[in-house]
Amino acid sequence: MIEEIQLCRALWTGEKIDWEGRWTVKGGQLAPKPFTTGGPPLWGGGGVPDALKRAGRYFDGWLPSGAGTPREWGEKWARIRQHAVAAGRDPSGMTGAVYTTIAVNDDTAKANAELDHYLEGYYMQPAQVIRQQQYCFAGDRAAVTAWLNEFVEAGATHICARFTGNEDERQMEVLAEMREELSV
Q: Are 145 and 115 in contact (CB under 8 A)?
A: no
Q: What is the DSSP string of 99-158?
A: EEEEEE-SSHHHHHHHHHHHHHHHHSS-HHHHHTTS-EEEE-HHHHHHHHHHHHHTT--E
pLDDT tens readout for residues 126-173: 999 999 898 999 999 999 999 999 999 999 999 999 988 777 888 888
Q: Are 46 and 76 in contact (CB under 8 A)?
A: no
CATH number of residue 130's parent domain: 3.20.20.30
> Is residue 36 located within the same domain as residue 52?
no
Question: Which structural domain range is residue 176 located in?
Answer: 43-184
pLDDT tens readout for residues 81-128: 999 999 999 999 999 999 999 999 999 999 999 999 999 999 999 999
> Is residue 78 located within the same domain as residue 126?
yes
Q: What is the DSSP-derived secondary structure letter of residue 34? A: P
> Is residue 122 located within the same domain as residue 68?
yes
The count of domains in the chain is: 2
Q: What is the DSSP-derived secondary structure letter of residue 2? A: H
> Is residue 35 located within the same domain as residue 62?
no
Strands 43-44 and 24-28: unpaired
> Is residue 158 located within the same domain as residue 94?
yes
Q: What is the spatial distance between Cα 117 and Cα 163, in angstroms, rounded to a whole number?
A: 12
> Is residue 158 located within the same domain as residue 110?
yes
> Is residue 147 located within the same domain as residue 56?
yes
> Is residue 90 located within the same domain as residue 11?
no
